[in-house]
Structure 1
């Protein structure tokens, strides 16, 4: 049940999603020893037939309930639909695409193609077979302007003909070729080094039930009953019931190609971060998703549970509002006159933050300050020599003084033109300690003379937060957010000129050059690619358009009655169809 942060929950989701960053900020502790958590858990007792698994989604806000990979952008929806949502391709423990999934993939570097062959046993949850048309149509859902999918990026535009379709100049995508009922060939302009790994962004790893949604206009797809109320999946479970924004119930997909699942039902419910500790102590849930590090500290010794965990494919960051997204051109446009345009101001803000102290106090050893925009989950590509932005008040003051931000009699700085400077921070609701942590950072910025106020004067609901940030609202100068990452480390789809997810709208010729180099033909040589990654990380820390903050070991509470729960990246080990329980009541 590994997660892609974006994005396929039983396997790694092959895309990117927005994370509820508030959940990682949490209740106080002085413990900093790093716990060692197992990757899987399985009760040694015999399983019963059937049984209901109770799962908690720990979050402050309701989920949206957009049950489609191309149309949803938050990790909560991905968590909620993981039981039915299965990627086309299987992966090994290193996220490499292997045979044995709903479809097999064969790359041909000389011909610049990817051939997708569908397993003839795979059926949608309505009993209809998965066919080539379903794979091909998924690219239209992704690329049609009517859906406004944020997964249509510069990377996917490497497919021949997809840009013409996106622009409305072609009725079909010439580079997506149906060869026969179960075979699709994707034609690329250029082959890329990450294509062997799930989550690479250069081809889509999901399908759409063409027979079921073909008559729904693209503009209405995200709000249609076919997507919101009665979705189809080819994974082990199908959606049986939804209480909007609150809970979902899944029952077995009897057509599942790997055999009928063991459980008779999976119930998943949104639970507040402030109430999950009491709920676990009362043994109300079998598995938790989104369990904050402080909550882990409260409940780690709860009887009847085993805590599993892994280095999260995610991280928290501080972003700055530097421009706008032009939907007509599909490009981010940087405003050189924006309030936060000066890198010295951005770096001063970063150096004033006491992230190490915050994590030592609040994370129970599960969190640590991140020094680059490549987390340690991608150890091979992370620049381990990078220092990032450790607390340095002296350096922060020096940067501001040199850049012309002068202190007034009230202790606050003006901008270089002598005007009052007020910086508005958009911050998402989290648990009971989020307010205290944000207040701490505001006090840290005050120490260097920066007046920072919360957007709207309060913590924002998750959905409102992302609406404002993605729209580059004028009352947002900077924002704390989080990424759930795909399993291929290229940052192209997060930080490029063509990436809708580049929500700060940072654009430069050098950034474009460095990102292209990471995914270039030369980067088929691993050592070259590692070096290209390091050059980009160094550049981004110099620019500080995005400040890396925190990475965590994500913990999952697993009730001791559960069998075959795994966080492995290898889909043969991580499959909800295998999960069982050993009794009808949760262990205490």
Structure 2
């Protein structure tokens, strides 16, 4: 759902575990743990956001990039269809959004396309630059950009991007989606390089959240849309217009990229890039041996890597957060809506109690070296204008948790230390947690023990951790075995949370539905929200409301750090959110430094 991730959009993140004593009682119950946030921001500030290397770069160098994961990448290599961070790390090298962005994540005219917005803010006119070509030499044209909307809006589309509010609000999109029109009336082709898109209403997210990825119509347009997601042209031989192009793929394991000499931004510095999957258990040794040059590094392992001589760290606060979600219902695919029909966690006091039971501050401070810190809302502080640190945040307070459960009627009737439900029946919580190296199992045990400490009987689904792909399959399909799940979102660069929590979007994995939630989300991207103060007030209220309803428990905000071999030059920490940077990255020697 990465930063990484959908760049403008959100993505599923790999949830790495951490080592923590299940009996930790190290901190009290501060309800608003803002001090930890300040400490984490201070710690991440110790890392530069650009790698330091003043040596002369060599020509035609090669770089090895580690995709740090304990599971193969799925290989859905198209922005309209992929859903997980691993695939986004492959995509960043060979395909690009049409627009670059500034520090506030707003579109600029410095990328592959320029734009103009109409006076009423309802129509955007996009012009693709003349020298922008697909890696097979064909020009990127307006029809390619239009085609991406025709695919996403088609009734046979099997991905999840149609849930985006901006896409749905394009004039004529609804009629096209329902099969009543062959084209989208709000999208007009002006010439081969120019098109306009008109929306029903002005939306302040237009210049941060508009879908900005073209699809090569000449290359994949003959494939039925219902079959596109599984086609070889998506999985084995995809093309893009980025600085590199795919030469060879070993499915799930590695990708060899070669320089795209036709890249519109000028000749990329590297001749080749090798991407390979590296297990978190061995990433430190791979870096020390010089087997890889760049890796998004597991922050829980930072202490072991600190002081390494042959590589350095760059970092930033991530556009992401970890959370624990409740399965409150199911997704009705035929109607395209979430249905909140699971009564198990209907009482929000139970959800709140499970949040109060978790000592997230100890997790961030002791295990993640301050590089993850308690999440206090569903908008991370990487959006400083919109993040509300005082949003009725729930901190660690086990006594409060017990009191809420008592009030809700969950009491230990048979005196075995575990609570029964209000009807006197055993209350069993089936918890889905993801694998991820040595630390994943202790993390899951910590959550389970934390809930048992307040009298709730929780255990792992099927008695074991689930790997990334099977984990999200169970979550997406609302598997009946799952009551609660631990996951993470990369938010993308658009602050609008509608695409994750709207009642009619499939990424609302908790299946939470309420009129107030829908209204607040709608207000947040309404024409009135062009007024910054108004939008701020709406999102403050939404964060406060979600912390009260607690359909998901925000657990940790994330700092992202990357380990970079000393021979790498010009790499910025935001490479996962801005793939344009890869054309500028070089190396200063033929071989990596090793300890």
Same fold by TM-score, threshold 0.5 exceeded? yes
Q: Does 1:315 align with 2:321?
A: yes
Question: Deviation at 1:576?
Answer: 1.0
Out of 23, 34, 42, the residue aligned to residue 43 of structure 2 is: 34
Q: Closer, same or farther in 2 for the Cα pair 1:46/1:569, shift >3 Å?
A: closer
- State the match for 1:535 in structure 2: 541
5 Å matches for 1:301-450?
301-335=307-341, 337-386=342-391, 388-408=393-413, 409-450=415-456
- State the match for 2:11 in structure 1: 17
- State the match for 1:246 in structure 2: 253
CA distance in 2, matches of 1:57, 1:27: 25
Question: Deviation at 1:4?
Answer: 3.2
5 Å matches for 1:33-182?
34-35=43-44, 36-110=46-120, 112-155=122-165, 156-182=167-193
Q: Is the 8 A contact 2:9 2:494 kept in 1?
A: no
Q: Any gaps of 5 or more consecutive residues in structure 2?
A: 27-38
CA distance in 2, matches of 1:164, 1:110: 23
Q: Is the 8 A contact 2:322 2:558 kept in 1?
A: no
Question: Deviation at 1:433?
Answer: 1.3
Q: What secondary structure does 1:512 align onto?
A: helix
Q: Closer, same or farther in 2 for the Cα pair 1:570/1:6, shift >3 Å?
A: closer
Q: Does 1:278 align with 2:278?
A: no
1:35-78 CA distances to partner (integer Å, 9 max, x unpaired)? 51111114111111111101111111110111100000001100
Q: Is the 8 A contact 1:135 1:208 kept in 2?
A: yes
Q: Is the 8 A contact 1:367 1:553 kept in 2?
A: yes
Q: Is the 8 A contact 1:25 1:292 kept in 2?
A: no
Q: Is the 8 A contact 1:92 1:570 kept in 2?
A: no
Q: Is the 8 A contact 1:325 1:505 kept in 2?
A: yes
1:320-377 CA distances to partner (integer Å, 9 max, x unpaired)? 0011111112111111x42112101100111011111122221012110111111110
Q: Is the 8 A contact 1:5 1:483 kept in 2?
A: no
TM-score, normalized by length of structure 1? Answer: 0.94
Q: What secondary structure does 1:540 align onto?
A: helix
- State the match for 2:228 in structure 1: 221
Task: Choose 120-129 or 255-264, whichever is displaced more.
Answer: 255-264
Question: Deviation at 1:437?
Answer: 1.7
Q: Does 1:4 align with 2:6?
A: no
- Count of residue correspondences: 574
CA distance in 1, matches of 2:94, 2:381: 30
CA distance in 2, matches of 1:569, 1:278: 23
CA distance in 2, matches of 1:506, 1:236: 41
Q: Is the 8 A contact 1:93 1:570 kept in 2?
A: no
CA distance in 2, matches of 1:449, 1:307: 42
Question: Deviation at 1:268?
Answer: 0.9
CA distance in 2, matches of 1:145, 1:428: 32
Q: Is the 8 A contact 2:4 2:577 kept in 1?
A: no
CA distance in 1, matches of 2:449, 2:120: 58
Q: Is the 8 A contact 1:312 1:553 kept in 2?
A: yes
Q: Is the 8 A contact 2:575 2:581 kept in 1?
A: no
Out of 203, 208, 211, the residue aligned to residue 192 of structure 1 is: 203
Q: Is the 8 A contact 1:150 1:500 kept in 2?
A: yes
- State the match for 1:208 in structure 2: 215
Question: Deviation at 1:89?
Answer: 0.7
Q: Is the 8 A contact 2:66 2:276 kept in 1?
A: yes
Q: What secondary structure does 2:295 align onto?
A: strand
Question: Deviation at 1:192?
Answer: 0.5
Q: Is the 8 A contact 1:71 1:147 kept in 2?
A: no
Q: Is the 8 A contact 2:3 2:576 kept in 1?
A: no
Question: Deviation at 1:388?
Answer: 2.0
CA distance in 1, matches of 2:180, 2:132: 34
Q: Which runs of 4+ in 1 moved over 4 A?
A: 26-33, 568-574
- State the match for 1:557 in structure 2: 563
Q: Is the 8 A contact 2:408 2:422 kept in 1?
A: yes
TM-score, normalized by length of structure 2? Answer: 0.93
CA distance in 2, matches of 1:504, 1:477: 10
Q: What secondary structure does 2:321 align onto?
A: strand
